[in-house]
Amino acid sequence: MRADLGLAVFGCVVAWLALEVCRDHGVPLGTGLPATATQRLHDWKITTNAFYACGFGALSATALTLLVRWTGIDGVPVMKGDQLSALGVSRLTNLGLSVVRTVAIEDVVIVAATVAY
């Protein structure tokens, strides 16, 4: 429990550090909506393409999984048990703290601070 709590606190501290670095350099993280209709249309086109890419990826992964199961290829590593136990999540508190750490690091540090900076 202490290790999971420590990792969650670490993720929040890294997110806070990224916010402070952006603030120190005068980079705002909240820019609001696009100003013009052309910019909004451009954003919607990017969103549509990203949606199609995610759908294509999901369909491709599903098709590949079904192909491997159907052919019965030996030597393909198969995960034993469920996905959460493979990730090291054994309790609900582990999952909650892992989600806090992941959101803090991915959303704030990787996406918002990097794009804004």
Read off the pTM.
0.43
pLDDT value at 117 more than 70: no
Task: Report percent pLDDT > 70 for the chain.
Answer: 73
* DSSP label at residue 113: I
> Whole-angstrom Cα distance, residue 29 to residue 44?
20
Cα→Cα distances 81→71, 86, 90, 102, 107, Å: 22, 7, 12, 23, 29
The reported pLDDT for the residue numbered 34 is 62
pLDDT the model gives residue 60: 94
Mean pLDDT across the stretch 13-26?
Answer: 78
